[in-house]
Amino acid sequence: MKPNRCLFVLMMIVFSPSLFAESEKPNLKEGSWLIGIQMVVPNATGPSTGPVQYQRCLSPENAQETMLTLPRGTPCVLDNKSMTRDKLSWQFTCEQRGMKTKINGNIFFRNETLSGEILSATQGENNIKITTKLSARYLGECVKVASPEKPVNKKNLPAYSE
């Protein structure tokens, strides 16, 4: 997989609907979180994916539903998983176009912060190792925003200029 596609898949794996049925609730404060993800590809050429940041509402009750999943159509299989109060761990195997990728991840919960690392190793024509680091911090209460389907009043938009 190309680095940009890998980052997308890894972002979908982390913080999406869950593969966990029954586990402990993590040591995670309920509210809005700022999540940062940085992918490191040794000896990579081309444009950098750069760090990615986004906000997400998380709680101990929904962490199992929002921390880990496979995007629909992804050629991956969950090999192993576990969640405790302080740690979420998983292992996936993905096979596509003659390449096999092993993905191992760990996220550590510390109430108002979390950190983690995802290691992926692809074997095939070219062996590729990617390390993805993530960290997050609690921002405060979740704020409900207007629905994106709601039409925007054009009178409130600033004038466009080049």
What residues does 35 pair with on adjacent strands? Answer: 54, 136
Q: Which of 106, 119, 127 is nearest to 39 (CA)?
A: 119
Q: What's residue 9's pLDDT? A: 52
User: In this predicted structure, what is the pLDDT of residue 113?
Assistant: 96
- Nearest Cα neighbor of 13 from 87, 84, 86, 119 is 119
- Tens-place pLDDT, residues 46-84: 776 678 898 989 998 877 666 666 778 888 888 998 889
Which residues in the chain show pLDDT less than 70?
A: 1-23, 48-49, 64-69, 145-162
Using alpha carbons, list the distances in angstroms from residue 110 to 4, 20, 24, 35: 29, 20, 14, 14
Task: Give residue 44's pLDDT.
Answer: 73
According to the model, what pLDDT value does residue 21 have? 40
d(CA 15, CA 56): 8
Element (H, E) at 63: helix 63-66
CB atoms inside a 10 Å sphere around CB 114: 26
The answer to whether residues 24 and 84 touch, using CB atoms and an 8 Å cutoff, is yes
Structure-token pair, residue 18: 């869950």
Calpha distance 152→157 (Å, rounded):
8
Q: Domain residue spans in the chain?
A: 3-145
DSSP code at position 11 = H
Contact 106, 130 (CB under 8 A): no
For residue 10, the model assigns a pLDDT of 53
Give the pLDDT of residue 45. Answer: 74
